[in-house]
Amino acid sequence: MKDQLLELEKRAGDELNAIDDPSGLEPFRIKYLGKKGALTSMMKSLGTLSREERPEAGKLANQIKVNLSRRFEETKISLETGGSGDDASVDVTLPGREPLCGHLHPITTVIKEVCLIFSRMGFRVVKGPNVELDYYNFEALNLPKDHPARDMQDTFYISDNVVLRTHTSPVQVRVMETQTPPVSVIAPGKVYRRDSDVSHTPMFHQVEGLLVDRDVSFGELKGTLTSFIHQMFGSHTRLRFRPSFFPFTEPSAEVDIECVICGGEGCRTCSQTGWLEILGSGMVDPEVYGFVDYDSDLYSGFAFGIGIERIAMLKYGIDDIQLFFKNDMRFLNQF
């Protein structure tokens, strides 16, 4: 096998050296480097070798593939740029071409910034599965199968007991199952709901937060979220807490910030109210502790959920959430 590989490398190298026109490149690539090429076929047959021969032959085959691929690319560049010896075809007086440089997507940038802010406050970043059991997505969060609040979330069901998670709150339950208090975590990730318009998409991103310890108060929740909003939008940003309802927190509150478009004077974006909803929060309902064997007489805590797209839209003044997912370079290049 080793001799066959070396012979193939020499034969391919000679053929590559003989190519003097770009039209000959693709046939060469298919013949030697394609899915059904000579080198690929030989690599597939390595499994027939003995256990002792296989490592050395595999290493040699991979090295030959790297060498041929590199020489192929060099030959391709040389032929396509006229570098086959005709130096007169290269105008060295022309300015250089600035290479295209990639950058982070605005959603990724916002997720990183949110995680950094909470990490500085002592929260640990954790992750969980996108495909979740009904138990973790609903039941362990105080949402039994007949609970009317399930209608608040249009769910993608894979089977009767398996869903695409509608929030990242299931990660909090999984963490509490394996860790005794104190617990302070945030769970960023993708979530899925059957909804699509200028302000909703079937897939979007959330960051859920959880803190559980002895004697945790609603005041600590307000202080934590106030600090986050001031770090994200500036210390001048006004905010307010409004009573709300979530099945897994009691009491619950929505958090609004002063409209970043009109400065609180009232505009179309904020429906003339001067305020924009930014996240939901509340004290963890004692019923949730029963699913993870926490003593609700000893421990208390708070949780919150932040929509990343909403943060990004407010931070960058974007009025259509679908722009984040259309891959329009005219939009993405602004970031």
Report pLDDT digits (tens) over 212-238. 999 999 999 999 999 999 999 989 889
Edge-first strand listing for the sheet containing 183-192: 124-125, 183-192, 203-213, 300-307, 275-284, 249-258, 239-246
Backbone angles phi, psi at 10, to 5 degrees: -65, -45
Return the closest-CA partner of residue 129 out of 173, 165, 175. Answer: 165
Tell me the sheet residues that pair with 159: 162
Q: Check residues 84 and 33 and name the one with the higher pLDDT.
A: 33
How far, in Å, CA of 91 to CA of 247, rounded? 70
Return the closest-CA partner of residue 11 out of 40, 31, 41, 35. Answer: 31
How far, in Å, CA of 4 to CA of 38, rounded? 11
User: How many residues are given for the chain?
Assistant: 335
Q: What is the pLDDT of residue 153?
A: 66
**Binning pLDDT at 50, 70 and 90, where does residue 82 land?**
low
Which of 54-63, 93-102, 159-168 bottoms out in mean pLDDT, i.e. has the lowest?
93-102
Q: What is the pLDDT of residue 226?
A: 95
Mean of all residue pLDDT scores within the chain: 87
Is 86's pLDDT higher than 70?
Answer: no
User: Where are the domains positioned within the chain?
Assistant: 2-89, 106-332
Q: What is the pLDDT of residue 212?
A: 97
| Domain at 106-332: CATH code | 3.30.930.10
CA atoms within 13 A on the CB side of 321: 16
Q: What is the pLDDT of residue 84?
A: 47
Tell me the residue type at 48.
T
Instruction: Report angle CA 89, 93, 98 to the nearest 5 degrees.
Output: 95
Q: Please give the DSSP secondary-structure letter assigned to residue 152.
A: G
Question: What are 280's two structure tokens?
Answer: 């939901």
How far, in Å, CA of 169 to CA of 167, rounded? 5
Tens of pLDDT, residue by residue over 17-42, are 888 888 888 888 888 888 888 888 88
Average pLDDT over residues 50-62: 85
How far, in Å, CA of 185 to CA of 199, rounded? 28
How far, in Å, CA of 208 to CA of 303, rounded? 7
Is 183's pLDDT higher than 90?
Answer: yes
Average pLDDT over residues 59-84: 83
> What is the rounded radius of gyration, in angstroms, for the C-alpha atoms of the chain?
29
Q: Can you say whether the dihedral through the CA atoms of 21, 73, 85, 13 is positive or negative? A: negative
Q: Where are the alpha helices (DSSP H) in the chain?
A: 2-18, 25-32, 38-44, 54-80, 106-120, 134-137, 169-178, 218-233, 286-291, 308-316, 329-332
Burial of 234 (0-12, 13-18, 19+ CB in 10 A): exposed
Most confident range (mean pLDDT) of 54-63, 110-119, 139-148 is: 110-119
Q: What is the pLDDT of residue 244?
A: 93
Is 110's pLDDT higher than 90?
Answer: yes
Q: What is the pLDDT of residue 85?
A: 47
> Parallel, antiparallel, or unpaired: how do β-strands 183-192 and 124-125 relate?
parallel
- Using alpha carbons, list the distances in angstroms from residue 180 to 35, 238, 281, 295, 329: 52, 36, 22, 10, 47
Tens of pLDDT, residue by residue over 232-272, are 998 988 999 999 998 899 999 999 998 877 877 887 777 88
- Using alpha carbons, list the distances in angstroms from residue 222 to 163, 172, 227, 238, 279: 32, 20, 8, 13, 12
**Binning pLDDT at 50, 70 and 90, where does residue 149 land?**
low
Is 132's pLDDT higher than 90?
Answer: yes
Q: What is the pLDDT of residue 327?
A: 84
Q: Please give the DSSP secondary-structure letter assigned to residue 85.
A: S
Is 300's pLDDT higher than 50?
Answer: yes
DSSP three-state, residue 323: helix
Is the pTM value of this prediction over 0.75? no
Average pLDDT over residues 182-208: 85
Q: What is the pLDDT of residue 111?
A: 95
Instruction: Report angle CA 226, 229, 233 to the nearest 5 degrees.
Output: 145
Query: Do 204 and 300 contact (CB within 8 A), yes or no?
Result: no
How far, in Å, CA of 16 to CA of 28, rounded? 7
Which of 62-71, 98-107, 176-185 bottoms out in mean pLDDT, i.e. has the lowest?
98-107
**Binning pLDDT at 50, 70 and 90, where does residue 302 land?**
very high
